[in-house]
Amino acid sequence: MSAAVGRPDWLTDPRFASVTAREDNKPARLELTQEALLTDTTDNWMQRLGDHDVPCAPVLTRDQVYRHPQVQANGTVIEHDHPQAGRVRQARTPARFSTTQTDAPAPARRLGEDTRAVLAQAGYDAATIDAMIADGIATDTQEGTP
């Protein structure tokens, strides 16, 4: 890294001479690195660091991630319609199998959408559930809540 950044003096700086020293001086190390990285473009840094075999990757904006060729080739991000939120993007299920298809993602459940079913499974009758909702102990489906 020091060669790629043009700072060979970092190699002899006592603050960075050992793992312990580098850890103890992490704020200074990060500040120096950030100062250096601000002097050039991301594309140039990727080239310079790569030329010195420094493992690196750019930090992408959300839009850049969605448009990244590898993300598109892998189908990593999928879009679907949510009944209230409209068109949404999300990561697909990471595990993929050659003979078993994964289910399409279901929209997020709305607040209170399953309250009655869960309480009924817990043994409460409809009148008790109605009373719990009326008293604010439980909540029913909230209109307008995604």
- Whether the CB-CB separation of 84 and 141 falls below 8 Å is answered with no
Checking if the pLDDT of 125 tops 90, the result is yes
Q: What is the rounded average pLDDT of the residues 118-127? A: 97
Average pLDDT, the chain: 90
Checking if the pLDDT of 14 tops 60, the result is yes
Confidence at 107, pLDDT banded by 50, 70, 90 = confident
* Whole-number Å distance between alpha carbons of 140 and 41: 53
Checking if the pLDDT of 144 tops 60, the result is no
* Whole-number Å distance between alpha carbons of 136 and 112: 12
Between 129 and 111, the higher pLDDT residue:
129
To the question of pTM greater than 0.85 for the whole model, the response is no
Confidence at 48, pLDDT banded by 50, 70, 90 = very high
Q: Which pLDDT score, from 0 to 100, does residue 59 have?
A: 92
- Whether the CB-CB separation of 101 and 73 falls below 8 Å is answered with no
* Whole-number Å distance between alpha carbons of 9 and 13: 6
Q: What is the rounded average pLDDT of the residues 98-104? A: 82
